[in-house]
Amino acid sequence: MWKDGSYRLHDLVLHARKKFLRVAVTTNGTLPLDVPSHTIWVSLDGSKETHDHLRSDSFDRVCFNIKTSRHPRVFIHCTLNRRNWRDLDSLAKFVKANPGLRGMTVQFFYPYHQGEDDLSLSPDERRAAVEKLLQLKKSGLPILNSAGRLKAMIDNHWSCHDDILINVNPDGTVTRGCYVKSRGTINCRTCGFTPVAEASGALDFLPGSLYAGWRLFLKS
């Protein structure tokens, strides 16, 4: 939906490709998946009933856009919360059965503000979700988060390299560091941002994180 004069997102992505080795786009999937990025992540948060409850009855439209897309590298990204984490099994099987998808990644819901925790997983639910993800991954379903970083997310004992992050906000201001900065209250103990955990692991030369990055950005 972004526009700046005659420019649209496709132009921005093409410009970014001249500056960076890899460019990815994350979308809610309600518009055609035709941007020229190297990778597209589509947010899908569970089965049809659950996703429609969380994301305004968009499941069928998202599935249609996945089915009709010709982009070679489309992945699902699911934000796990109290309402959808039990859908992991069915969602992973849906991804594997869909020829238009290359796999899926997950992160955990993060409450940006005090009192905004009705969707947050309890510690026991979070552990159970990670154990389920590891089980699905081991069984051959396409969970692309590395096992090591998933285990680390249980109690968030991992080294965060947030100095690699630069966030441009809608008002044009630039924030360096943690994504939550300027958006809410930073609480590292409840961090759910697996992409940062994975990138930090890659910077620490963890084999699992390096392999995950290769599968998401480089594998043909």
Which residue type, as a one-letter code, is found at position 60? D
Read off the pLDDT band of 170 (50, 70, 90).
Answer: confident
Q: Note the pLDDT tens digit of each residue in 109-142.
A: 999 886 667 899 999 999 999 999 999 999 999 9
Domain boundaries defined on the chain:
3-155
Count Cα atoms within 13 angstroms, Cβ side, for 166: 3
Give the Å distances, CA to CA, from 79 to 43, 46, 76, 198.
Answer: 8, 9, 10, 15
Task: Determine the pLDDT at residue 93.
Answer: 97
In the predicted structure, residue 183 carries a pLDDT above the cut 90: no
The CATH fold of domain 3-155: TIM Barrel (3.20.20)
pLDDT at 2 over 90: no
Digit-coded pLDDT (tens) for 31-57: 999 999 999 999 999 999 999 999 999
